[in-house]
């Protein structure tokens, strides 16, 4: 495959790990990274080691919760309390402060094959609004996100025509779940002529990775029955730690609104209602509290009812299982884009058809 240049929006845990993992993959050159503080751009390729060293322990995954117009960049990011030294990407010698980092990326868009949105979606329409800016700015290429919530897929689908006109291939929900595990379910479904149930159950141990993944933990807390995306967004770090303590460090999630359901339905595999996603997060240990398993139940052409299961090794980290697949889907998106296929694609559509 020809070399692929890509940009990362957000230099929090996911953004930084994506840059790191890309160093181990063929044909990927990161040429830009930004957050709400500024932008690092180098058409010859960023010095990832320098950028990682500069941003480590200096966590900031945000660009700006107003979709990058710059207004939210000035202050508290919609109430999200930051911690530590808060300079984000500007701590890197390669970055410059910017009033409008997203526009910086758009302005260099003709040299960027793919844009990975490593942003928390504390407002459901945040990623769709960022996509609008790329459409309005005349970008054509791949956009890819690691969003979680089912309802966001419809918002992206509403923009499908605009993406097609603009030459954008938008790959949505391309992290672990949705993403890797949705793709695994699509593959496991191939034995069947009818799929009746898909159960995704993940386990994550985040003791040493906690600082780097505060955004993910906050998003997970929004799935607890007592919280939603707005209330979780407004929690301070101390309040989040109190919630974790109240669960003795281990939080169980059931019936999460994760887009695996609509993404499997739009690929024709099963009804969204037949998909359930849950998991266990342990912030007191780096061991996974449970083995991440995808179970796909269905009926074969010759009348057997069976369950195909797909398991991740407990030794693979969440970082490996989010960022490896995100970059894999990014490459699949670039292949589609170069073949002239535009619009919205989910991870299950980039697998064998059902």
What is the rounded CA–CA span in Å between residue 184 and residue 295?
9
Q: Kindly name the residue from 148, 201, 288, 331 that is annotated as catalytic.
A: 148
Is residue 323 within the footprint of ligand IKT (CB under 6 A)? Answer: no
The two structure tokens encoding residue 186: 């699509």
Residue from 177, 182, 308, 337 that binds ligand IKT (CB under 6 A)?
177
Instruction: Please compute Rg for the chain using Cα positions.
Output: 19
CB of 182 to ligand IKT, least distance (A): 10
Residue from 4, 143, 155, 318 that binds ligand IKT (CB under 6 A)?
318
| Residues from 250 through 279 that contact ligand IKT (CB under 6 A) | 279
What residues are paired with 171 via a beta bridge?
144, 345
Active site residue 247: no
Is residue 220 within the footprint of ligand IKT (CB under 6 A)? Answer: yes
What is the rounded CA–CA span in Å between residue 64 and residue 133?
13
Active site residue 207: no
Query: Given the rule CB under 6 A, which of 89-97, 200-208, 264-272, 345-353 is the region that contacts ligand IKT?
Result: 200-208
Is residue 329 within the footprint of ligand IKT (CB under 6 A)? Answer: no
Residue 129's SS3 state is: helix
Query: Given the rule CB under 6 A, which of 71-79, 111-119, 197-205, 261-269 is the region that contacts ligand IKT?
Result: 197-205
Q: Kindly name the residue from 223, 258, 288, 331 that is annotated as catalytic.
A: 223
Is residue 292 within the footprint of ligand IKT (CB under 6 A)? Answer: yes
Alpha helices, H only, the chain: 13-22, 48-55, 101-107, 126-136, 150-157, 160-166, 180-188, 214-221, 229-233, 237-246, 260-266, 318-338
**CB-wise, 166 or 321, nearer to ligand IKT?**
321
Q: CA 208, 232, 278, 275 torsion: positive or negative? A: negative
86 contact partners, CB below 8 Å, separation of at least 6: 58, 60
Is residue 112 within the footprint of ligand IKT (CB under 6 A)? Answer: no
Among residues 17, 11, 24, 57, the alpha carbon closest in space to that of 317 is found at 17
Residue from 91, 294, 322, 330 that binds ligand IKT (CB under 6 A)?
322
Binding positions for ligand IKT, rule: CB under 6 A: 175-177, 179, 202-204, 216, 220, 279, 288, 292, 312, 316, 318, 321-322
């Amino acid at each position: 495959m020809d070399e692929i240049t890509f940009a990362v929006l957000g230099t929090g845990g996911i953004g930084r790990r994506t840059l790191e993992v890309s160093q181990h993959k063929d044909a990927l050159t990161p040429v830009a990274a930004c957050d709400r503080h500024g932008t690092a751009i180098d058409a010859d390729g960023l010095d990832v080691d320098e950028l990682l060293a500069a941003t480590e322990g200096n966590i900031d995954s945000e660009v700006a919760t107003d979709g990058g117009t710059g207004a939210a960049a000035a202050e508290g990011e919609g109430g999200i309390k930051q911690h530590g030294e808060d300079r984000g990407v500007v701590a890197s010698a390669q970055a410059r402060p910017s009033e409008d980092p997203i526009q910086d990326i758009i302005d260099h868009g003709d040299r960027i094959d793919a844009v990975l949105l490593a942003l928390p979606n504390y407002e459901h329409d945040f990623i769709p609004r960022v996509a609008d800016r790329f459409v309005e700015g005349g970008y054509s290429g791949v956009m890819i996100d690691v969003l979680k919530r089912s309802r966001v897929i419809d918002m992206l689908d509403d923009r499908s025509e605009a993406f097609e006109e603009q030459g954008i291939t938008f790959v949505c929900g391309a992290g672990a779940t949705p993403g890797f595990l949705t793709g695994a379910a699509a593959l496991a479904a191939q034995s069947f002529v009818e799929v009746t149930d898909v159960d995704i159950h993940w386990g994550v141990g985040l003791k040493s990775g906690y600082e780097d993944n505060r955004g993910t933990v906050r998003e997970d807390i929004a799935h607890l029955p007592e919280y939603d995306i707005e209330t979780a967004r407004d929690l301070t770090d101390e309040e989040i730690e109190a919630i974790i303590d109240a669960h003795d460090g281990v939080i169980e999630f059931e019936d999460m609104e994760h887009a695996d359901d609509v993404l499997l339905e739009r690929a024709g595999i099963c009804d969204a209602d037949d998909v359930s996603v849950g998991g266990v997060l342990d912030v007191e240990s780096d061991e996974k509290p449970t083995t991440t398993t995808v179970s796909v139940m269905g009926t074969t052409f010759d009348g057997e009812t069976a369950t195909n299961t797909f398991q991740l090794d407990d030794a693979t980290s969440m970082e490996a299982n989010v960022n490896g697949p995100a970059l894999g889907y990014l490459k699949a998106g670039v292949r589609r884009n170069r073949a002239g296929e535009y619009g919205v694609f989910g991870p299950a559509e980039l697998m064998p058809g059902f």
